[in-house]
Each structure stands twice: as structure tokens, then as C-alpha cells.
Amino acid sequence: MGGPDIQSRQERLSTYFEKSATVVLQSAKSFEQVYARPWIDKLAASFQRRPIRSAFLSMLFALSILPILSFVGFSLFIFASCVFVGLTGAVVVSTVVILALSAPFVAILMMLFCISLFLTGSGLGAYLLFRLLVMVRDNGARAGVAGWAQETKTRIRSPPEQPSEESRNQHDGDEDAASDGSDTFTAVSAVVVDHPAKSESSQGSGDDIDHVDRSVKKEVQ
């Protein structure tokens, strides 16, 4: 039962390997045709024209490739290390300086808060004392102290909210409508009282009702 599955898996692996090998061979062939072969041809031509210089340069390149790569890698490592250490040091130093300056800053704010509170209390006390002296001088001791106490309470307490202009106009409109309705009701009542209904006949009742309606209209107008 497991034989066909293993065989199909091996076939898939072999197919994948063949595709990978084909891609690698194509890449190697492209690199050889584009880069390696031209450089090899140039190097061979250089050895044919100037063999001594070409041999010297080739030997120098072969011997110096490892030191050059080591120097470049070490330089990049030093640069990255310096950047990391510099950023870390900057963050640490900034944090320490900010924390060191926060204590005097908070102390200065507290001192300014206390000074503002003292100046406000002093100004308020001086004003209240001045008002007390003025009211005692104008109204006498007892009346002045009583008036000063009432004025102080009024100033300390929040003033009552004033009605807005819209609510005031709406209230005036409601009052006008109520007064018009009461006037109309009074006029109708007066007309009804002055002209009572008669019960002798239906025709007479109709005439009285018409007369009452005309009277009501005149009174309303």
C-alpha cells in the first residue's frame, strides 16, 4: 500500500532536483558568459602582452583579497558599534538629565503655586478689608458690618444663572397669548351674559345665536 506513495514522492523529489539543477546551471552559464569569460579573456590577453605586470597584479590581488574583506567587515562592525553605543549613550544621558532637571522644575512649580495662592489671598483680604472700612464709615459699625457680610457672601457665592434671551422672549410670548385668550374669554362671557338664550321657539333661538355670534365678533375685533 505504501509503495506507490513512496515512488510518487521520489518522482516529485527527482523532478524538483532536476529543475533546481537546471536553474543553477543556467545561472552559472549566464555568469560565465557575461562576467567570467570576458575577464578571463582580458586576463589571458594581458598575460600575453605584459606577463610580468599581470603576474604581479594577480599575485597581489590573490594575497590582498582576504585582508581587504577583513578590513571592510571590521570597519562596518566598528561603525555599527559606534552608532549603537552613541544612540544608547544619548538615550541614557538624556534620560538622566531630564530626571535630574525634573526635581527642580517641580519644586519651582510648587513654589510658584504657593506664591500665586498667597498673592491671591492677600489681594482678596485687602479688598474685603477696604470694603469693610468704607461701609463702616458710610453706614456705621453695625449696619456696615452686616452689609459687608452680605456683600461678601454674595461675591463668594456663584451668581444665579440669568435666563437667556430666547427663553425670555418665549415667556413674554406665552404671557401675551394667555392675556389675549383671557380677554377673548371675558368678551364672550360678557356677550353671553348680556344676551341670554331664549327657549320660546327654534326660530327665535337661531336669531339669538346669530346675534350672539355677531356680538362676539365685534367684541373680539
Last residue in a domain, options 68, 94, 119: 119
Is 204 or 157 the better-scoring residue by pLDDT?
A: 157
Q: Same domain for 30 and 108?
A: yes
187 Cβ partners below 8 Å, 6+ apart? 216, 219, 220
pLDDT digits over 165-206, tens only? 555 556 565 555 555 555 544 544 544 444 444 444 444 444
Note whether 205 and 199 are within 8 A (CB): yes
Q: Which domain holds residue 51?
A: 16-119
Q: Same domain for 99 and 21?
A: yes
Q: Same domain for 192 and 112?
A: no
| pLDDT value of position 117 | 94
Q: Same domain for 114 and 197?
A: no
Note whether 219 and 194 are within 8 A (CB): no
- Alpha-carbon distance values, 204 to 41, 76, 208, 209, 214 (Å): 140, 123, 6, 9, 15
> At residue 72, what is the residue type?
V
Task: Look at residue 63 and tell me if it is in a domain.
Answer: yes
Q: How many domains does the chain have?
A: 2
Q: Same domain for 104 and 31?
A: yes
